[in-house]
A and B are shown apart, each in its own frame.
Chain A
Amino acid sequence: MPVKNKKLNLKDKYQYLTRDMAWEPSYQKKEDIFPNESFEGIKITDWSQWEDPFRLTMDAYWKYQAEKEKKLYAIFDAFAQNNGHQNISDARYVNALKLFLTGVSPLEHAAFQGYARVGRDFSGAGARVACQMQAIDELRHSQTQQHAMSHYNKHFNGLHDAAHMHDRVWFLSVPKSFFDDARTAGPFEFLTAISFSFEYVLTNLLFVPFMSGAAYNGDMATVTFGFSAQSDEARHMTLGLEVIKFILEQHEDNVPIVQRWIDKWFWRGFRLLSLVGMMMDYMLPNRVMSWAEAWEVYYEQNGGALFKDLERYGIRPPKYQDVANDAKNHVSHQAWATFYQYGHATNFHTWMPEKDELDWLSQKYPETFDKYYRPRFEYWAKEHPEGRRFYNNTLPQLCQVCQIPTIFTEKDDPTVLSHRQIVHEGERYHFCSDGCCDIFKDEPEKYVQAWLPVHQIYQGNCEGGDVETVVSKYYHINIGEDNFEYIGSPDHKRWLSIKGKQSDDKESGSSQDAA
């Protein structure tokens, strides 16, 4: 505490207005009040060393946030009143929103719950307060996203049941299991996973691409939300960095634990980002930048500088970073090819890129696209008008950890699928990579519990044994409206009529021959 009889500086004043309200308990044991603080093995010797990552008293918080909300909702109202959905680049763009609302928005809500919890768990009041502010911010994002997409939901399909789908649909178990994994971990791992790996290291590759995509594609509602959330995100990022530095500075025994978490959450984050890579390269009619470019700038350069900075704590860059760096030229194409084949079981449409789009991909991926992906995509594009739009009617093998179908290829040979398996207590488990396999081996008792959508369908836990019943009854995907090929879909037809064009019925004839 500072020298007395001198006016407090801002830092000390903020501490008086937050952590000084806490006290050393004497009627109850500290470990009973904060029972979750120690089981992970993280050693905190002195919470007073916690540096508040931002200094925001509640009165200022209410004031700033209310101003932001007022502006944001004025734009939402104007957007709805003027039917702003008619001004987007192309209706294919809305499919990125469908992916966002079902894949990302529920995570905002899970983050709210997770931060509310860790906002209670720490015995350091400074850290608790910072986490609580993030909790209520995440609630904000979860709710404003519902409001931002509300108008789109009235004019396009596939946005109508996001939370229900998030709990059930096969590919949505990828983001869901990611967050479930973090929320079921202890409080320090939760912060390493979400505040550091997710918010600090990867946010420019996750949240930002959707918002930039909105900006490039005339989506005023979503991009305004993005700008409005920016200062919240900046606060979350500073918390992420403070958390990691604080834990590492507290005790050298923390270093190997944190390193293991960084390895794990980097890899889990990287796998999750395959969905974003696909969105950036394939779902945006007006492209912002390629996934490979984004990865180079935001991970290889910025992440590289960050891990250089963390070297002094004994932290090295995440394990399998080389595999991830190499994969930047492949994952988006492999993911889109997969979703294209399984377009009968998604709440968004898929399509083959048009010629100028294929050329853009060839130019952005000179080493890989023409050699490995373009011929396949051109073949599928040719098949479609012949009445043979390709759908894959088998169910894929999922990775036990990231839950993505095992579609990725080996680092040194993109013609070989990457597949690992181990036997644990008499059961065989399958993985997409060494990264995911290692995560399993560290905590097998956790990952054997995974709710794998394909297994669940085959076990009869999804209201039916055939794909069509699962998709319509269990997923609430409206067949023929939400799913299948984009060309000829109701969304496509509606868009053409908005733009005053006739729909070409010849094109739509072949879209329903799946499942």
Chain B
Amino acid sequence: MTKTDQVVAGSAVEEVEVRGHIIDSLLLPKILDRVLQMGGQFEIKKCEIGTRRVDPSHAVIAIRASSPERLREIIGDLLQHGAVPVHTEDARTVAADLPGCFPDGFYSTTNERTEVRIAGRWVEVADQEMDCGIVVDPAAGTARCVAMADVEVGMPIVVGYAGVRVMPSQRARGETVFGFMSSEVSSEKPKAIRQAAVADAIRETREAGKKVLLVGGPAIVHTGSAGHVARLIREGWIHVLFAGNALATHDIEQALYGTSLGVSLSRGEPIEHGHEHHLRAINTIRRLGGIKAAVERGVLRSGIMYECIRHGVEVVLAGSVRDDGPLPEVISDMLAAQAAMRRAIRGVGFALCIATTLHSIATGNLLPAWVKMACVDINPATITKLNDRGSFQTIGIVTDVEPFLRELAEDLCGS
């Protein structure tokens, strides 16, 4: 758990609103001063200032305290000065009437930390994920995100917006590259700083006991970077791998034939009949019953997949409609693949997405907003797409992946 997470998890938050001539009467500064005097913190979520003298102003303020008791004291005091809690209702639920469907009017989640009010208590929603619903367990007083396909008849699903609140992201502005997430994407950025920030994030994640996720595309192998990634895995910097059939196939092709897409990785030239290598590699693995079996039988002896098997890295290979083979470990049922990824992201503290668009977006969709992501791609559109789909916690590095991975491996593993 990172320091930021601890602050959030151990604290209590309530939003209050205050209206009237709160600027002229100094009520707003007074309220904010009192929050600080009583040991709380505040964040002004909204402040609309009246334009004419008689127009009232309106502010919504999130008050944060170290404990629910402290928060109650502060809110009780602020009530005297006209600040009233925004939420006074429990979340409303409706039992799901059809499998795989939400009830009408369901609450659609974001990737931000969310809380629902159950029997007067604010409860953090578990498994936070965007584009889901929220299922409540009233007896246990818990709530979690649930994907549409996983809805079962009778599940109490939150409907409407009452009793649901999205918590402010705690962003340490300006302190690090990740501290100020910027959606600006350009190839003309100082890459060394961003590469160093990625290395630092990976170190911090491992130190915090969280997992580092690598989401990779086949260009890792095509560009001759498989060795860098294998080294990162070998030295314990990568704990989960999301990829498709292609990364695994070309990695195995390289291990078995020394080529990627038929191109010799040592000479950089196409090999005669090289175009057959990837299919022969797939066939070899299929005949052995899978990648793991190939490693155990001593057939597969190097590369990314080999290191994953050897070092217990959790691998989810999600297939696609254009796949050859595919390799036996590739999950071709998309919902099953999504579910496997959803299970594997638990405990992930940092995601490094390299040279893959669809798998990066899929991962961005699954991760809560407080898990940092770095997206490395030669194509700026990949990073833009991630940001545009709400994964705003992403920093983008537009670059060729080979020099990036080489430097990252040297940074983390030593030259």
Q: Do A and B come from one complex?
A: no
Tell me the B residues contacting A by CB distance below 8 Å.
Answer: none
